Chains A and B, each alone.
Chain A
């Protein structure tokens, strides 16, 4: 009170000193009218806040980065349990303990990442409520029942994960192991629903449906079954496996590079192989899912389809081609290095097939990366007669892209088959016939894919989309389901001529695994932006318009900078998570395992890269 009295006294004194009677009156009137503001506010309530912003950074950028990080973490957390559980099942069925160890190691990464994912989910929710109250109010009104389901799913998923992880060592034998495997199955079961429930919210924003009057549950159910929900569900589950596989591969790559003894090198070399295999396995089917999703987008709304594939977002798909191309090249490179380093003496035998595969991949990639509308100077465009090249312009459309994507999948599959067969001698009497059949299937399939691709230019689009492209996909799947069991059968009686040796890969194999992981993260940030920005200036496409100052699409360069930032942040987060997850291992590691156990005295990351990669080094 005293403080207030002094303040008023000083104020009055100031007024009298300057003789500002008028200003004093205005001030007094102002002070007296303060309570009236409250009455006024009661009389005319302010309009509800639609948006809030954050200075300098911008609310949209914050949401963009946090949502992308949450999505990437969620992808990892939902993808890893799939193959962790499969590895555990393999270990249980075959009795190979190393698979159990691998599954446990995957799950260890999962537990640390799970909490961070939930944390980012919470941050995202708070930020969305704060920055976009109008949108969140709208979505809550529609999806309230599924919000409850989501919370319940999270509870059971968390409980299952804790039981799965903490019960690992205790539930190793007999019935307990079966129960543990059941827990792993439930973990994946709940995780699947945890993925598809929020997918319905995001896909509803992109492809909303008309909501009839009805109960809350009926409205939420109708909104959930929107046209792009299942295509996104399928696409995401495969992408999560790819992301999880490559990140686990990168983890193994880094552990391999920093390995201090031969046992570690062997284990992480093998883990890197498994991670790469899982990534490739998912990658082979990902383009099919992506194609289906885009088809549904086109069918749902031509405008959105054109914005994505022909309009201002079409350049993203050229970047996508480049990133997928690097992934294919990186994965095959790793396979080929596996043949030359893990199977001594096989280098010369497989050098020619590797060269042929590499040339095929590069030619396909060249076609995939050729845009329909080329970047050309005025002079170059004049010479071409427009922005389409009269000859190479044909590579710029879907028929060509689908053809080369299928061929790249075929080549990568054959690369894996070659790796599988390396170092083995078939002894079956029918081996020659089987190999001839496999060669014939492969050649005919490649020809069929190319013929359908070329023919696709001469038929109506709907024939190409519904029949030719589908047939191309079926042909490639047909090759896989024919050659895989045939090879397995062939190798059942085969004689191993050269034992596969682990821990002999050069350091660049570890770096290739890290590169693949970075590429797949970049790819997900890129396509996340594409999916989200295809709504252009709508929060809910055609229904709820974005009226914020951010209702514009950023230039591709700015968008690419945010994507790179998201990738960087995610890599840092994952590095931190992995560091925390392995902190205990280092403490437990016996002091006897020193760097002296390594032939070169130090890990590759510590400067022994070149020493580990000398031709002579392979003989240690």
Chain B
């Protein structure tokens, strides 16, 4: 099998893995096209690097392509060569048309998930001591106000979660609240979706503005309850 054929086969295998195998792993989901493209680009780049690392391998990989394109020693393939020379610009044109043509599909989401909090909310520390009572109270408030969306198991799968896109945050995921300081959560709970800054618009958050219903003390207790219930710890510097 020539190196060019190997490259095509390798890309097909990688594509099949990303498109059909990874999504079927339990707990997984289909990959967006941007990620599939990225991984296939890496595969192709890696192949080209390896194929051109020595004169012999470069000749085996690039030689046939060069000879085909220049017509050197392969006159019988002239019709095919002209075919490629016509087809290639057409493919580029088709790709350009697809990327610029007006479409009825909604635009890709490119929102900023973690916007920076306003200055007055940075560096705040939880004024409530982390006692079993406070945690228990916080969990009670959480059950009453937060769990319908964020779930009784802190996994973002509350009974109302199905109605939201994007879904409510999964606190048990170590890449969510474990990455943030308590002051950040305080701001997000207190100000809700409407309090998000304009950076990275458009925002899509159905989080209520809890400051109109809950006193600050309750919010701080909810934060204690959330971290404890999700088995996570807030980001600190001490």
Q: Which residues of A contact B (CB under 8 A)?
A: 298-299, 301-304, 306-307, 310-312, 314, 329, 333, 336-337, 340-341, 347, 351, 354-355, 358-359, 361-362, 365-366, 369-370, 372-394, 396-397, 457-462, 506, 508, 542, 553, 610, 613-615, 617-618
Main secondary structure of the interface of A (DSSP, over half): helix
Query: Bound state CA distance, A201 and B70, in angstroms?
Result: 58
Residue pair B35, A370 in contact (C-beta under 8 Å)? yes
Q: How far is the CB of A314 from chain B (nearest CB, A)?
A: 7
B178→A460 contact, CB < 8 A: yes
Who on chain A is nearest to B25 by CB?
A: A391
Asked if B75 lies at the interface with its beta carbon under 8 angstroms from chain A, I say no
Bound Cα distance from A386 to B168, whole angstroms: 9
> Which residues of chain A have C-beta atoms less than 8 A from B232's C-beta?
460
Q: What residues of chain B lie closer than 8 Å to A391, measured between beta carbons?
A: 22, 25, 27-29
Q: Check A378–B109 contact: CB distance below 8 A.
A: yes
Q: Does B166 contact A (CB under 8 A)?
A: yes
Contact status B119-A389, CB under 8 Å: no
Q: A312-B199, A312-B200, A359-B46 are in contact. Are A378 and B106 (CB under 8 A)?
A: yes
Q: Knowing that A347-B54, A389-B29, A392-B35 are A-B contacts, what are 17 other residue pairs whose CB atoms are under 8 Å apart, sorted by A's residue number?
A: A301-B122, A302-B122, A302-B183, A303-B117, A303-B118, A306-B184, A311-B114, A312-B112, A358-B46, A362-B42, A365-B42, A373-B113, A389-B32, A460-B178, A460-B233, A508-B52, A613-B55
List 26 A–B pairs whose Cβ atoms lie within 8 Å, in order of A's numbering.
A302-B122, A302-B123, A306-B114, A311-B112, A311-B115, A312-B115, A329-B49, A337-B53, A337-B54, A354-B50, A362-B45, A362-B46, A373-B112, A375-B108, A377-B32, A377-B106, A383-B29, A383-B30, A387-B109, A387-B111, A389-B32, A390-B29, A391-B27, A462-B236, A508-B52, A615-B56
* Contact A310/B117 with A329-B49, A461-B233 known, Cβ cut-off 8 Å: no
Q: Tell whether A394 pairs with B167 under 8 Å between CB atoms, given A302-B117, A366-B39.
A: no
Q: From residue A332, how far is it (CB to closest CB) to chain B in Å?
A: 8
Do A614 and B237 have beta carbons less than 8 Å apart? no
B residues 19-48 near A (Cβ < 8 Å) are 22, 25, 27-35, 38-39, 42-43, 45-46
**B:108-161 near A, CB below 8 Å:** 108-119, 122-123
Contact A341 B32 (CB under 8 A): no
Write the chain A residue with the least CB distance to B59.
Answer: A615
In this complex, how many residues of chain B approach chain A with their Cβ under 8 Å: the count is 64
- In whole Å, how far is A371's beta carbon from the nearest beta carbon of chain B? 9
| Chain A CB within 8 A of B58 CB | yes
Tell me, rounded to whole Å, the shortest Cβ–Cβ distance linking B127 to chain A. 17
Q: Please give, as numbers and ranges, the residues of chain B lying within 8 Å of A340 by CB-CB distance.
A: 53-55
CA distance A103 to B235 in the complex (A): 48
Whether A542 and B119, one on each chain, are in contact in the complex, defined by CB atoms closer than 8 angstroms, is: yes
Segment 90-116 of B: residues with Cβ below 8 Å from A? 105-116
- Contact B29–A618 (Cβ < 8 Å): no
- In the assembly, what is the distance between CA of A259 and CA of B60, in Å? 27
- Which residues of A have CB within 8 Å of B213? none
- Which of A329, A358, A369 contacts B38 (CB under 8 A)? A369
Question: Does any Cβ of A come within 8 Å of B13's Cβ?
Answer: no
Q: Is the CB of A618 within 8 A of B55?
A: yes
Asked if B174 is at the interface (CB within 8 A of a chain A CB), the reply is yes
* Complex Cα–Cα for A379 and B110 (A): 14
A354-B50, A457-B174, A460-B236 as given contacts; A381 in contact with B56, CB under 8 Å: no
Residues of B with C-beta under 8 A to A397: 174-175, 179
Give the top 4 A-B pairs by smallest Cβ distance, nearest first.
Answer: A310-B114, A460-B233, A376-B32, A461-B235
* Residues of chain A with a CB closer than 8 A to B114's CB: 306, 310-311, 314
**How many angstroms between the C-alpha atoms of A299 and B236 in the bound complex?**
9
B236 touches A386 (CB 8 A): no
User: Taking the nearest CB of chain B, how far is it from the CB of A351, in angstroms?
Assistant: 8
**CA separation between A459 and B107, bound complex, in Å?**
37
> Beyond A388-B175, A389-B29, is A462–B238 a contact (Cβ under 8 Å)?
yes
List residues of chain B with CB within 8 A of the CB of A298.
Answer: 237
Using A362-B46, A377-B108, A387-B109 as known contacts, say yes or no to A302 and B181 having CB atoms under 8 A apart: yes
Question: Shortest Cβ distance from B232 into chain A, in angstroms?
Answer: 8
Tell me, rounded to whole Å, the shortest Cβ–Cβ distance linking A582 to chain B. 29
